[in-house]
Structure 1
């Protein structure tokens, strides 16, 4: 699995865009070159039409403005196709207002390239990568398939990374940094 300090892999995936455009059935291409110069939060979920996944996707979507305020974009990725993503958005009330794109990694290239494929399940683990504007991974976390993650914690981590300071345990934006 890729880790902190590694270069995030190149990718070029078809996606259901976020916002109302995503419900129109028109797909977009998103690559590692998209949103150049921005921080990227790339999170993987196992598969569409499941139970824990939509809770995480919706939570990341609700924080998209918080991420944008930090000059970061959020990309959600699973091994499902763009057609499955679209169908899920159209038929799940919680996903209809989703503001972030859903990337289709049907060839599993990005999932395998990051090393987050769950070997026995054949789907992505619940992995989250925070990638700096230079394409370097600055944070990675992975949860078991049965446990959802906390997107608010990713905002906190992004704040800490962008501060370029020493941040103590449970530090939040506005708190004091560690002085040495």
Structure 2
């Protein structure tokens, strides 16, 4: 039986996890926690992938990295995550040209506890589903998207939804930043 995925209006779970943040010796790891994120007053965009050293995942991670400053411009903290450990994250970054210069942390949920709390732990392989969460500065989940393990997500759509959420207004279908919102 599949866990129930936390959805819109739910509080994002508290966590304290090690993240790979660099490939430089002695500076590889950082302890990330939800309290620090909440204290920042920023939005959180956390995206999950199933496994390091695979094929679809690095295309997504590299694309999120290309748009890193777009998230920063929107006052959002970007975090990538999987159930692999922090040492595997660093090895993968060293091994893969597109991942060497990542500007966001790669969270290691080795206990799989956060993926399980979020309801995104795939039941057979016990890996994270390809999920994305947008969380507001109060820690409330405002958007969730989950793709089949074989299908990469669209980073521009994540940015579009973040823009729409940040207007706090009614946004029509295919709305883009700068376009008119709906007057109720």
- What TM-score do you get using the length of structure 1 for normalisation? 0.96
Tell me the residue number matched to 2:17.
Answer: 13
- Select the residue among 7, 32, 35 that pairs with 1:33: 35
Question: What runs of 5+ residues in structure 1 fail to find an aligned partner?
Answer: none
What are the superposed Cα offsets for residues 34-93 of structure 1, whole Å, 9 maximum, x if unpaired?
Answer: 232110001110010000000011111111100000100111010101000000000100
1:95 has 2:99 as partner: yes
CA RMSD of aligned residues (A): 0.8
Distance in 1 (alpha carbons) for counterparts of 2:35 and 2:149: 29
5 Å matches for 1:155-170? 155-170=159-174
Query: Aligned-pair distance for 1:121?
Result: 2.1
Distance in 2 (alpha carbons) for counterparts of 1:86 and 1:44: 16
- Select the residue among 54, 58, 61 that pairs with 1:50: 54
What are the superposed Cα offsets for residues 3-58 of structure 1, whole Å, 9 maximum, x if unpaired?
Answer: 000000001110111xxxx0114310011122321100011100100000000111
What are the superposed Cα offsets for residues 117-170 of structure 1, whole Å, 9 maximum, x if unpaired?
Answer: 111221000000000001000000100100000111111000000001100010
Question: What runs of 5+ residues in structure 2 fail to find an aligned partner?
Answer: none
Tell me how many residue pairs correspond in the alignment.
176
